[in-house]
Amino acid sequence: MSCGMSEAPRNSSTGPTEAAAIAGVPHASGTSAGDVPLEKTPLETYVPPAKPSLIGLSRAQISDHLAAIGVAPAQRRMRAQQLWHWMYVRGARTFGEMTSVSKDMRAELEKHVTVDRPEVVAEQISNDGTRKWLLRLPSGNNLEKPHEVECVYIPETDRGTLCVSSQVGCTLNCSFCHTGTQRLVRNLTAGEIVGQVMVARDRLNDWPSASSPPGEEKTHRLVTNIVMMGMGEPLYNFDAVRDALLIVADNEGIGISKRRITLSTSGVVPNIVRTGEEIGVMLAISLHAVRDELRNELVPLNRKYPIAELMQACRDYPAASNAKRITFEYVMLKGVNDSLDDAKRLVKLLKGIHAKINLIPFNPWPGTHYECSDWDQIEKFSEYIFNAGYSSPVRTPRGRDILAACGQLKSETEKLSARERQALRAMAMTD
């Protein structure tokens, strides 16, 4: 999950390290059992290339680049809007495609900036149509090879969901999650987050043709839903995630409704309400346990923000309603959190919250000591929750043959890159 959290670690008299301060992420501020840090400090910060991409910039930032190349103040707003349209409605990959922009301006832009997205290193296509892309990002350290992250597209009859990453690695150390075993390299930029959506539309040929009439650019889209459920904790990369999702939701651009965008967090409480106020997307909580002592083990961040605080933040989430329910993700671990008593506690815990529960069959990974709950136990658990009045779908595993299902992304591609790419912590909601 990911980003730039503004609040300092609790009970900390010292500031973050220099690298963490630059990245906006607090230094590890506490430990769980076995001295596992609650949070990791990023190893690198983003170093922009000599020719930065306009992808992920606000209109005001694009105007600043236009000012730098000598565009008159009276023209900047209109020219910025032109570029915005070509990038996010037409999907232009070069300035040469932007035929409504003068040749001289295109040539000048070409000298200073690009509209580049992340580089696609590899693509895998599952038997069920799921696609997984390995994307290469620049390293901030010239001695390190480029970083790589993965995003996954899950097609269904009524939607196409793109699972997007927010960090190279992850800030957190959830014990059941393969991603939690890797280091945190750095936060992704807004451009690298938006770039994953651009890449998916490129690869799926999901942009309108030049002959598409006005008003039909956004119909019959293949990418219809976005879930921030890939690598990283989104709420430890708040600013970049916010800026990226506002671009994705912009009606004059990519135009994916905020009700079709879901952000998943392990429970960074101070930024949950901010998410509702500043982004306004759907919220998902990686819960996985109903008792603090167990959640402390599964999600060590719980020691900093315990369940009671997390539930209050959910109750305070702006605009939560029956129409905009909060999703609680619950991975089913055999003999750990799957008893009928756990189901009863879960129902009691969520009382008064507009909620649905996604039950996720655990996908084992090398080295884990957890096992997936037996199917009949999952069904009993789901039935109890359903009878209590909550939607409780069991998430359908997708893309297992290309290791794109929940918790599997890292394994198959380890030979292709360094350790910073692990399995996606969660996959798209398929209910």
Mean pLDDT by 10 residues, the chain (431 residues): 31 31 35 61 82 95 95 95 97 96 94 95 90 86 76 93 92 75 86 97 89 57 94 95 98 96 96 95 96 94 96 90 88 96 97 93 87 94 95 70 45 35 33 36
Q: What is the pLDDT of residue 110?
A: 95
- Residues 254, 127 within the same domain: yes
Residue 25 lies in a domain: no
pLDDT for 7: 29
10 inside domain: no
Q: Is 48 part of a structural domain of the chain?
A: no
| Residue 186, domain CATH | 3.20.20.70
Domain co-membership, 320 together with 228: yes
Would you state the pLDDT for residue 421?
31
* Confidence at residue 43, expressed as pLDDT on a 0 to 100 scale: 77
Structure tokens at 185: 């390299």
Q: Are residues 63 and 144 in the same domain?
A: no
- Domain end marker among 112, 127, 156: 112
Domain boundary among 96, 112, 128: 112
Which of the listed residues 71, 89, 112 is the one where a domain comes to its end? 112
Marked catalytic residue, from 44, 314, 406, 420: 406
- Does the annotation mark 150 as catalytic? yes
Which residues, 6+ apart, have CB-to-CB distance to 81 below 8 Å? 59, 252
Count the domains in the chain: 2
Q: What angle do CA 287, 237, 192 make, to 5 degrees?
A: 115
**Residues 376-406 as b or e (16 or more Cβ within 10 Å = b):** ebbebbbebbeebebebebbebbbeebbbbb
- Tokens linked to 257: 């409704």
177 part of the active site: no
Q: 292 near 306, Cβ under 8 Å?
A: yes
CA atoms within 13 A on the CB side of 90: 23
3-state DSSP assignment of residue 296: helix
pLDDT at 233: 94
* Cβ partners under 8 Å of residue 100, min gap 6: 82, 86
Question: Which of 150, 192, 329, 420 is an active site residue?
Answer: 150
Instruction: Tell me: do 192 and 245 sit in the same domain.
Output: yes
* Same-domain check for residues 77 and 166: no
Question: What CATH number has the domain bearing residue 80?
Answer: 1.10.150
Retrieve residue 212's tokens.
């598409």
Residue 369 is assigned to a structural domain of this protein? yes
Task: State whether 82 and 205 are in the same domain.
Answer: no
Q: Is the dihedral of CA 307, 310, 311, 312 positive or negative?
A: positive
For residue 361, being part of any structural domain is answered with: yes
Q: Is residue 34 part of a domain?
A: no
Query: What is the reported pLDDT for 216?
Result: 56
Residues 253 and 378 in one domain: yes
The answer to whether 324 touches 297, Cβ cutoff 8 Å, is no
Show the domain range for 314: 119-416
Strands 131-137 and 119-125 come out as antiparallel
Does some domain include residue 15? no
pLDDT of residue 266: 94
In this structure, the answer to whether residues 211 and 173 fall within a common structural domain is: yes
Residue 274 and residue 382 in one domain: yes
Shared domain check, 84 and 231: no
Q: Which residues contact 324 (CB under 8 A, 6 or more apart)?
A: 259, 282, 354
Q: What are 125's strand-pairing partners?
A: 131
Q: Is residue 68 part of a domain?
A: yes
- Check residue 35 and give its pLDDT: 60
Q: Is residue 104 located within the same domain as residue 131? A: no
Do 191 and 168 lie in one domain? The reply is yes
| Contact (CB, 8 A) for 251 and 188 | no
Predicted local distance difference test score (pLDDT) of residue 324:
86
